Amino acid sequence: MCNESKGANKVMDEPGITLKDTNSAINEGRKAEAKVTPLKMFIMAFILVSSGTILVERLAVTMTPSVGYHLFVLNKGAAIFNRGDYVFVEGLVTPFINDGEEFNIIKPIACAPGDHLENRDRHFFCNGKPVAIAKKKSLDGKLLTHFTFNGAVPKGMYFISSGHKDGYDSRYFGFISKERISARAYPVI
């Protein structure tokens, strides 16, 4: 897909837009991908085991590298969500995760209601800024279909995406309605 000769990271389908530019824009203002170390796992396990059910109901752990964090505090009373906020989404179903069983995810909002979302050949832009690139195949080689939309994000809908190359998010399943968002998630570790 990419021509990477002598540092030129040009995307073949988009002259003038480079993978380096896209990745820089995606990661701008976000923490670099975090690694799970044994110490971090011990701390997370200790917090979850020793905190009791009140704290456990307000914590979420994710082991995927796609969001850059692994422990989140949840605010289930949040009513307003903005671009850049991490959100906890419940009840998604796809054949690519958990063999089609329902699952929950935490992702940042990449494009909010009223923002202009544009899709150009698997490249997603919010208000003209690159936010993600959809892959053609999953990690296990299955063909992926990607969300196609160009225009203003409808009221009550959100485009969520970590921008991570292997993340599974709105690039593939489309908008998430506000009703599906059960909490704002604040990254801890």
d(CA 93, CA 166): 18
Number of domains, the chain: 1
Cβ atoms of residues 169 and 78 within 8 Å: no
Residue 51 confidence (pLDDT):
52
Burial class (CB in 10 A: 0-12, 13-18, 19+), 88: buried
Question: Ramachandran region of residue 79, left (φ > 0), alpha (ψ -120 to 50) or beta?
Answer: alpha
Burial class (CB in 10 A: 0-12, 13-18, 19+), 26: buried
Which positions ≥6 away from 148 have C-beta within 8 Å?
Answer: 119
**Predicted pLDDT at 36:** 63
- One digit per residue, pLDDT tens: the chain, 189 residues? 333 333 333 333 444 454 445 445 555 544 444 566 777 766 766 665 555 444 557 888 888 888 888 889 999 989 999 999 999 999 888 877 778 888 899 999 999 999 999 999 999 999 999 999 999 998 889 899 999 999 999 999 999 999 899 999 999 999 999 999 999 999 988
**Predicted pLDDT of residue 2:** 38
pLDDT for res 49 = 57
Structure tokens at 166: 């292997």
- pLDDT of 48: 59
Residue-level pLDDT at 32: 44
Q: Which pLDDT score, from 0 to 100, does residue 6 have? A: 37
Asked if residue 152 lies in contact with residue 97, where contact means CB atoms within 8 angstroms, the answer is no
What is the CATH number for 87? 2.10.109.10
- Residues 60, 106 contacting (CB under 8 angstroms): yes
- Domain that includes residue 13, residue range: 2-187
Instruction: Report the alpha-carbon distance of residue 73 to residue 184 in Å, rounded.
Output: 8
